[in-house]
Amino acid sequence: MREFIYVLFHTAAVFLVASALVFTAASVQSSDPARALAGPLAAEAQVAELRTQLGLDKPAPQQYLSWLRGIAAGSSGWSAFHHRPSADVVADLLPVSLVRIVLALIVGAGLGWLMAQRLFSGQPSFTIIGTAWLAIPVFSPAALALWLMSSGAHLTPMTTPLWFEGATVLIASLPASLLVAMTFGTRLHGVRQLSLTAQYLCYSRAPVAYSRRILLREAMPSAASAFSNAVIPTLSAVTICEVVFSLKGFGAAFVKASQVADVPLMVTGLSVVLAILAAVQFANQLISAKLLRRSSRVSY
Amino acid sequence: MSRIKGLAAVSALVILANVAADAWLKVPIDSRNVLQAPTFEALLGTDHLGRSLLLIIPRSTIATLADCIVVFSIAALLGLSAACASVFWLGRWQDRLVSALADGVRSFPAILVAMVFASLHIPVALVLAGIVWVPVWRAARAALAEQFARPFILRAQACGLGFSQVMLQEALPLAWPVILPSALGAMAECLSGLAVLEFLGFGRDLGSPGLGTLASQVVFLGGTAWWIWLPPTLLVCAIVAIFAGEAVAKTVKETK
């Protein structure tokens, strides 16, 4: 309960500060969002009407307070780019992206588990390669995949959307799998040493099965934490994949909203993502604590 | 010796960046040879304006590296200043406030936040520096706090040596080997972040493109005309991998 209140309080504080910063920045920016939305050919009267309609003629603190009042009343503002309430846009597109993120994490965890068991053993060389791979820009694998598909298999996003959906999930799972694998790899190195000692001490009790049990119980809390840490890089990777492969989703819509400075959609999208991340963090804390309690009860 | 080399490299990069800034205008535009694949006449091919990529890619690399140095300098300054403040008020509310701020910054999805602020015409360098200072602060805080707990520093403080004097003369030079790997990691993060933001349309435009801007052409060209976006993409990966690999190698060496 205490952790839940802490996460809730932390998220609320960060959300208030971030949204206030966004509104302040939006109010001091040199360009006019109403002009950008109306287009260069629109008459000044039309732009002024749009500005009043969007509430952009009010001072920034008033805009922010009315937006907060709207949030409290269940209304998140009007997305001028999509011509719909921003909450509706997020509600339509976020599930699509969330499915991709969850699939990528599942594929990533599977790949990570395999890599950790077969390849990684906490060796510095693997850690160096893994970190260097994790650091490279997330668009690189997506760009290379698009090239390979268009040049080798003559596929385009328009002709074979299902292929590209699959490719997106696979590419988006790469950072997740590496994070999971690296956390596992480091942890497994220690656990293997422990299991060797345990096998030596308890050789009469089916050592292989015993070491697997130790492996699972020791490595699982790390897995939960790696899974939670992998959410943010996977979200970025899915966003990039949606842009590169021209897929419909929250990430692509968020990039578009940022390009046209659609403030209500940006703030609503960011706050929903923040809430989801807070929930993931809280679930991770609960699961890790439970798994750690279980593993501490095992005697070697 | 290595410091002199580093200083010389940074100075050379700044000079080259200045030269490159002027040289953008001198890259000839040839509308007859648009999107030409690599040949003996144009070794790396041409872009959508018929400009030779042999001329553009080195300039883009220098421009991206120069931007990266600006971002890193701001982030390092922020991180080190915050670390000094944290060590000065270690364990008190000021230190806890900085820790909470750092946790808050890192709990956000960095790319989405950077896009939001970049879209509001806040300079990309400031936005990225506001995110990347955290690892520098974290490493510097831990290393400096460890130094300040050492007996000879405590004795020096007891003898009346001021905090800033101890920090500059003793703690910071001794903590530097621990801070350096994090600084290199932050450099890799700066470069990666800059490239991603350029890729998404924030930052440099096609008039004077960075490596990320060139790489973003893959979206508009649908994966065709590989000579425009593939070399910059691989170049970014290589540079980032060098920085990140070096950071981890230094950490491993330091741990041993």
* Amino acid (one-letter) located at A108: G
Q: Which residues share a beta bridge with A79? A: A84
- pLDDT tens for A235-245 read 888 888 888 88
How far is residue B80 from each of residues A11, A266, B104, B187, B224, measured CA to CA in Å? 26, 32, 18, 14, 45
What is the ipTM metric for this complex?
0.77
- pLDDT tens for B211-223 read 888 888 888 887 7
Looking at residue B81, what is its pLDDT? 93
Cβ of B188 within 8 Å of Cβ of A135? The answer is yes
Cβ of A135 within 8 Å of Cβ of B240? The answer is yes
Residue pair B178/B254 in contact by the 8 Å Cβ criterion: yes
Q: Any residues with CB less than 8 A from the CB of A51 and at least 6 apart, and which?
A: A32, A34, A57
Q: Has residue A211 got a pLDDT over 60?
A: no
Cβ of B104 within 8 Å of Cβ of A136? The answer is no
Name, of A95-109, B7-21, B87-101, the range with top average pLDDT: B87-101
Cβ of A232 within 8 Å of Cβ of B189? The answer is no
Cα A158 from Cα A155, distance rounded (Å) = 8
Q: A297 vs B166, which has greater pLDDT?
A: B166
In chain A, the percentage of residues whose pLDDT exceeds 70 is 59
- pLDDT tens for A170-191 read 777 777 777 666 666 666 666 6
Q: By mean pLDDT, which of A201-205, B1-5, B16-20 is the weakest?
A: A201-205
pTM of the full structure: 0.79
Query: Among all residues of chain B, which has the CA nearest to that of A253?
Result: B112
- pLDDT tens for B103-150 read 878 777 888 888 888 877 778 888 889 889 998 999 999 999 988 888
- Residue identified by tokens 């300079």 is B123
Cβ of B233 within 8 Å of Cβ of A144? The answer is yes
Distance from CA of A250 to the nearest CA of B (A): 11
Q: By mean pLDDT, which of A24-28, A269-273, B150-154, B192-196 is the weakest?
A: A24-28
> Interior CA angle at A296 toward A121 and A299, to 5°?
85
- pLDDT tens for A237-288 read 888 888 888 888 898 888 888 887 777 788 888 878 887 887 787 777 777 7
Q: B117 vs B16, which has greater pLDDT?
A: B117
Q: By mean pLDDT, which of A122-131, A139-148, B86-95, B114-123 is the weakest?
A: A122-131
- Hey, how many other C-beta atoms are within 10 angstroms of the C-beta on B90? 14
Q: Which of B105, B106, B112 to mutate to test the interface with A (most CBs of A within 10 A)?
A: B112
For residue A79, give the H/E element and its range.
Answer: strand A78-79
DSSP B149-208: TSHHHHHHHHTT--HHHHIIIIIHHHHHHHHHHHHHHHHHHHHHHHHHHHHTT-S--TTS
Average pLDDT over residues A83-97: 87
Distance from CA of A259 to the nearest CA of B (A): 6
- What does the mean pLDDT of chain A come to? 72
Cα B190 from Cα A113, distance rounded (Å) = 30
Residue pair B155/B194 in contact by the 8 Å Cβ criterion: no
Residue of A138, A270, A281 with shortest CB distance to B196: A138
Q: Has residue A1 got a pLDDT over 70?
A: no
